[in-house]
A and B are shown apart, each in its own frame.
Chain A
Amino acid sequence: MSANLRILVVEPDQNRVREIVDALGEAGWRDVKALGNVSALDRTVKDFAPDIVLIDLANPDRDMLEHISYVTETEKRAVALFVDQTDENLTQAALNAGVSAYVVDGLQMNRIKPVLETAIARFKIMRQMQSELDAAKQALEDRKTIDRAKGILMRQRGLTEDEAYTLLRKAAMDQGRKVIEVAQALVTAADLLS
């Protein structure tokens, strides 16, 4: 019976927490607690006594969680999942998705695995969405910079928009740099000179 596992999710971002808790809920785990404020980590781990703690691999509070796992009483000691490297694929999948899990020592692997697989799938989606969002933001920023650089060239050299872009691209190719880098340099220089 997998449904009676106690799962703690440590994650400051409320949207992300909801995603993970929902995903776990849909898969049948209802005894899930989310923790955003890590200053309560110590007490929550003691009071809630989770069987599994899920935390983003990149969360700096992992070190705190590790410490709590050393000092808890031995029969309830949580250990980093990676200690049990019996399933190399699962470990690598968790790492790639950015999930780290702490599980109570001695818990059967076949009980943990479905929880982790659910978490990995969800983390993966969230990570992908985040990187797409970041890429879109960056592309928008780059576009603005290049537009400004084109505008400067059009004003200063009396070029058309296409000519200005061609000039930027040529300068970039000649210097072995990216168009955005040349555009950035031009914008910075223009700001300094204005």
Chain B
Amino acid sequence: MSGTVLNCGYVPLVDCAPLVLAKELGFAAEEGLDLNLVRQPSWSALRDMLALGHLDAAQMLSPMSVAMSIGLGGLAAKIDTLMVLSVNGTVFGVSNAVAEALGPVPFGDANAVLHKIAARDGAPLRIGVPFHYSMHRLLLSYWTSAAPDLQIEEVTVPPPRMADAVADGHVDAFWVGEPWGSVAVGRDVAQLMMTGRDVWQFAPEKVLAARHDWVVENDDTVRRLMRAVFHAAKWLDVKRNKPLAVEILSRSEHLSLPADLIDPAVSGHLLPQIGGHPVEVERFLQFHRYAASFPWRSQAAWIAHQLGAEGEDLETAKACFRTDLYRANLAAVGADMPGASEKVEGSLQFETAVASSRGHMILAPDAFFDGRTFDYAGKER
């Protein structure tokens, strides 16, 4: 295949689907790109490879690009978020022992789960997360800050080893992306208590990121990459395509996961515990609908605020979510654009019509579990 070779890093989780499908369904080739997907062993390795120029672009945890741009955590570099690759898709679960101690809690009730966990006696709860600069960790911190007496200990565990970590007693609970929560349930070592969207209903999970300098120098390649990924995300969110998507992903050398592990995330049908009832989680993992791929600057601001940034750093964070590029590069392929690039995060309780380039578009609820809202100026109410 000829075309511009583009090295794009990723970590093999279900939510790398837009990148895999951009390649496998030929959307990248249509744009004249030879998309070379380079599997990374850890988020730190991916970050280093991107920052040092061994990768042109990468799938990243949404807080990573923000942290790097404001100089937090390991390697600082000016990183642009071109678009959001996926919204939601994470789960919170506890070991069987903790689940038994908590007693029955309604699945997905973030307040009830927190209340039960805070009332639990004993040593601090050790909670596994995949990476410090992850939406998992930010949601965990935001959620547990509502119970100031709750003692937790954050433990970093590579997602494929999360089930082992629970089985070994290394962690008591975890916040992880699919399929690794379902894997822990499948091995009958843990129960799922809720999903990430029970804490924040529309949380940007993974983003497509690239070095700012590279983006400036390669504007045409950037446009083609964004278009290819946009088409893949759009295809993925069509309901009738989902079974085929699961099949393609399971056969892809890029993911190496069987179909039965990919299906729960893509279909939104989760099994919280062995022998329990499956639950259907609406918008469990969203790629395209409700402007899912639009990199809202207010999302960047929320992330930066959670990371303790203020003032100039907050502005830097907002600027690295490139809504300008999204508008410029994707209008021609039919992306409907919201009228604004920032919103008051947490203010939507229901699906809501807002002004857009084609009249109006529907945004999904983005409420936080505690009912608070966050406006881009960094004020929580």
Q: Point out residues on A near B: beta carbons under 8 Å.
A: 39, 42, 57-68, 70, 79-80, 82-83, 91-92, 95, 100
Contacts and interface: CB of A to CB of B under 8 A. Distances in A.
A63 B156 contact: yes
B131 interface: yes
B45 to A, nearest CB: 6
A58 B41 contact: yes
9 contacts: A39-B168, A57-B41, A59-B41, A64-B158, A66-B73, A80-B74, A83-B76, A95-B48, A95-B54
**Secondary structure type dominating chain B contacts:** loop
A71 to B, nearest CB: 8
Given A39-B168, A82-B52, A92-B52, A63 B158 contact: yes
A66 B67 CA distance: 14
Contacts of A79: 74
A80 B48 CA distance: 9
A43 to B, nearest CB: 12
Contacts of A66: 44, 73-74, 131-132, 156
A127 to B, nearest CB: 14
Contacts of B74: 66, 79-80, 82-83
Most buried by A among B49, B130, B156: B156
B43 interface: yes
B41 A60 contact: yes
Contacts of A60: 41-42, 158, 160-161
**Secondary structure type dominating chain A contacts:** helix
A1 B52 CA distance: 31
Per CB-CB distance, the 4 closest pairs between chain A and chain B, nearest first, are A67-B156, A60-B158, A64-B156, A62-B44
Nearest to B51: A82
Nearest to B48: A82
B289 interface: no
Most buried by A among B43, B48, B51: B48
B154 A63 contact: no
Given A60-B158, A83-B74, A83-B75, A70 B132 contact: yes
Most buried by B among A57, A68, A91, A92: A57
A80 B75 contact: yes
Given A63-B156, A67-B132, A58 B52 contact: no
Contacts of B41: 57-60, 62
B170 interface: yes
B157 interface: yes
Contacts of B157: 64
A63 B43 contact: yes
Most buried by B among A63, A67, A68: A63
